[in-house]
Amino acid sequence: MSTVAPITPMAGHEPDAPRRTTSEAAHAGLSSRWASVSAVVIALVWTVPTLGLFVSSFRPESDVKTSGWWEFFSSPDVTLDNYRAVISGSDTDLGTYLINSVVITIPSVLIPISLATLAAYAFAWMKFRGRNILFIAVFALQIVPIQVTMIPLLSAYVQPPFNLMPLAGSDAPGGGLYTIWLSHSIFALPLAIFLLHNFMREIPAELIESARVDGAGHVQIFRRIMLPLMMPAIAAFGIFQFLWVWNDLLVALVFGGGSLEISPLTVRLAELSGQRGQDWHLLSAGAFVSLAVPLIVFLSLQRYFVRGLLAGGVKG
Amino acid sequence: MTTTDKLLQMGIAVALFFGVMGVILVLTSRLRSRAGERLQTAAFLAPSLLLIAAGLLYPAIKTIYQSFYDAAGTGFVGLDNYQTIFTDSAQLQVLRNTAIWVILTPLAATFIGLVYAVLVDRAKFEKFAKALIFLPMAISLVGASIIWKFVYDYRGTDQNQIGVINQILKSLGVDTYRFLLTEPWNTFFLIVIMIWVQAGFAMTILSASIKAIPEDVMEAARLDGASALKMFRYITVPSIRPSLIVVLTTISISTLKVFDIVRTSTGGNFGTSVLAYEFYVQSFRSFNQGLGAALAVLIFVLVTPIVVYNIRQMRRIEAR
């Protein structure tokens, strides 16, 4: 769909050139002066707030506190002091929380993926009684908001039944990180199983059947056929789960709440915003420390993300 | 814990779970008999189903049960907690705010997403233009709230402004405004943040479904001499209607659970609290377990019909 040269003279100054395509007419009508103005206004409102904070993160403290960030363009004065202060400064220490975020996120993405691919395979290609009912049940559990599970889950971690080892508390294994990993995994499972199941069902049945006829067991089929074919779907779900966990505040607050030792960036940043709400030189740099990772992941893997979105991958 | 400790623990956790998966695969790979296959199925399903049952199903039932008990979770109080939600003036304000959030956010985000999707459709810089609106989806609501707190920053009119909106007001000769503190309008300014985050989602889904409208349908309408606006109204919108509904419902669900924005921007003060935030406060700050549970159940009850409807719509889109 290559673009054609602008045909309406009025649209000559627009960023978008009219073309003969599906939505051409709708477009042409809207692409009066008003249309392009509104597109530009929307684009500005969606970028200027971020730009302002980004610019501020590189300005010296005194500038940030006494003049608007737009003045930067008339008197540019760049410093990395803010980043140095938030990452390694003893009072903010975002470096530690950055590590925490990584430590929380990686298992919280890998665990549900590994468990869900197995379960999704069983639902998609193994024959057993009650399969449909069980699958619908798992699917239906997507509607349970995490808020509903939090209080009982927390008390189960603190005082587990059957004298199991408590996962929260002062001498919990992994410093209490298991509560966060497990919670994120549990909340991800229904959607992960549902999405991966849908992708697996799209693989032609003949492929599986012929492998079966050749004497391959489910495990071989799973490893040799399913996993390689599933990689794009797994990537799509992986990105969702990554963004969800990295950006999460509620789960980290509730399950890691007691100890700042295992809190992620979001928790620390929210705290900073409350305690030092006027220290914009620190807040701006801090915000971008936490935004950098998801933005990089998102931009480099956007293709998979969009595919996942269109397949219904929205966490309820 | 030191950094090395944490990374070590992380390695152990990942190895543990991949170990479980590996053991299941190895142990069951040799089973071919009928009973063997049954065991294999169980082994594939058991880890997930156990976690779901213990971590979602049981807690959900327990919470519903708890919502009929008092703050300490010991004395049965019947429907008292629910009565509090619907009669207490502070709680009523929470409900009112939640209603405003859930009505405004989906409508505004979807409208903006749709308009933008149509405007940039097949434009020269379509990819870039879309990425601009899309990016807020990648960042945390905490980050988004900080970005907008800076936009809303307040200084007295005679001072140098550092918040961009108040600077605009000032240069227009209007007094600067406390966007986050002035009731009741502060709720609307918080909603703006959520709209800003969600519009990208709406745009992505709607743009994909606009591109899926068959060429000949548009062609026919064009030959009949339909004007552009009419085509938008009578062809584009009806064609993407199922997607529109999915987008609206999905955004309402996320909005019902919004917590981070309120907590980061105002801490629920100045009359801005919403259901999901109030749940957190009652459960983990005021330690009123019963009321917290009742608020969680209310979120559950409100979300359920929307999700069911949403799933039906998605099915319908898939079936086409």
Interface of B with A in 107-166 (CB under 8 A): 112, 115-116, 118-126, 129, 131-143, 145-151, 153, 160-164
Would the CB atoms of A118 and B293 count as touching at under 8 Å?
Answer: no
Instruction: List own/partner pairs for B107-110 with CB under 8 A and 24 or more apart.
Output: B107/B248, B108/B191, B108/B195, B108/B199, B109/B194, B109/B195, B109/B198, B109/B199, B109/B201, B109/B202, B109/B251, B110/B202, B110/B206, B110/B244, B110/B247, B110/B248, B110/B251
Confidence of residue B318 (pLDDT cuts 50, 70, 90): low
8 Å CB contact of A45 and B196: yes
Interval A82-112: pLDDT, tens: 898 888 877 778 888 999 999 999 999 999 9
Tell me the CA end-to-end span of chain B in Å, nearest whole number: 54
Instruction: Kindly tell me if the per-residue pLDDT of B296 is higher than 90.
Output: yes
Environment class of A272 (CB within 10 Å of its CB; exposed 0-12, middle 13-18, buried 19+) = buried
Whether B71 shows a pLDDT value over 70: the answer reads yes
Residue among B250, B216, B65, B97 nearest A148 (CA): B65
If DSSP codes are grouped into helix, strand and coil, which group holds residue B69?
A: strand
Distance to chain B for A209, nearest Cα, Å: 15
Which pLDDT value is given to residue A316? 40
Is the model's pLDDT at B260 over the cut of 90? yes
Query: What residues pair up with B69 in beta bridges, in sequence order?
Result: B76
Q: Do A287 and B147 touch (CB under 8 A)?
A: yes
Q: What count of other Cβ atoms lies within 10 Å of the Cβ of residue B282?
A: 24
Verify whether the Cβ–Cβ distance B13 to A111 is below 8 Å: yes
Contact A280 B162 (CB under 8 A): yes
User: Do residue A316 and residue B140 have CB atoms under 8 angstroms apart?
Assistant: no
Tell me, what's the pLDDT at A203?
82
Q: Are B133 and A42 in contact (CB under 8 A)?
A: yes
State pLDDT tens for residues A198-216. Answer: 888 888 888 888 888 888 8
Across the interface, do A153 and B264 touch by the CB < 8 Å criterion?
no
What tens digit of pLDDT does each residue of A171-204 get? 677 778 889 999 999 999 998 998 888 888 888 8
Size of chain B, expressed as the number of residues it contains: 320
Give me the residue from B6, B38, B48 closest to A128, CB to CB. Answer: B38
Mutate to test the interface with B, among A108, A115, A155, A254 (most CBs of B within 10 A): A115
Strands annotated E in B92-183: none
| B 252-271 residues with CB < 8 A to A | 253-254, 256-257, 259-260, 263-264, 267
pLDDT band at B194 (very low <50, low <70, confident <90, very high): very high
Residue A23 pLDDT level (bands cut at 50, 70, 90): low
Question: Has residue A1 got a pLDDT over 50?
Answer: no
Q: Determine whether the interchain pair B21/A273 forms a contact, defined as Cβ–Cβ distance below 8 Å.
A: no
**The pLDDT value given to residue B108:** 96
A21, pLDDT greater than 80: no
Cα–Cα distance measured from residue A190 to residue A120, given in angstroms and rounded to the nearest whole number: 10
Are the Cβ atoms of B28 and A69 closer than 8 angstroms?
Answer: no
pLDDT at A219 over 70: yes
Give the pLDDT score at B189.
Answer: 95
pLDDT band per the 50, 70, 90 thresholds, residue A4: very low
**In contact, B85 and B295? CB cutoff 8 Å:** yes
Distance (Å, whole) CA B288 – CA B281: 9
For B199, nearest residue in chain A (alpha carbons): A46
A204 exposed, middle or buried (CB, 10 Å; 0-12, 13-18, 19+)?
Answer: exposed
**Residue that wins the pLDDT comparison between A27 and B39:** B39
Interface residue B302 vs chain A (CB under 8 A) = no
pTM above 0.90, yes or no: no
In the predicted model, is pLDDT for residue B35 greater than 60?
yes
Least confident among A66-75, B249-258, B259-268: A66-75
| CA distance to partner chain B, nearest, from residue A163 (Å) | 15
Looking at residue B31, what is its pLDDT?
A: 67
Percent of chain A whose pLDDT exceeds 90: 27
Distance CA A144, CA B203 (A): 27
Report residue A1 as tokens. 């769909």
Q: Do A149 and B59 touch (CB under 8 A)?
A: yes
Which residues in chain B touch residue A236, judged by CB atoms under 8 angstroms apart?
none
ipTM of the complex: 0.88
CA–CA–CA angle B141, B147, B152 (5° rounding): 120
- A–B CB contacts, 8 A cutoff, strictly below: 389
- Range scoring the smallest mean pLDDT among A73-77, A148-152, A182-186: A73-77
Amino acid letter, residue A122: A
Partner residues linked to B76 by β-bridges: B69
- What is the model's pLDDT at position A15? 41
Q: Average pLDDT in the A271-287 region?
A: 88
CB atoms A145 and B299 under 8 Å: yes
Q: How many CB atoms lie within 10 A of CB A127?
A: 9
Q: Å from B89 to nearest chain A CA? A: 23
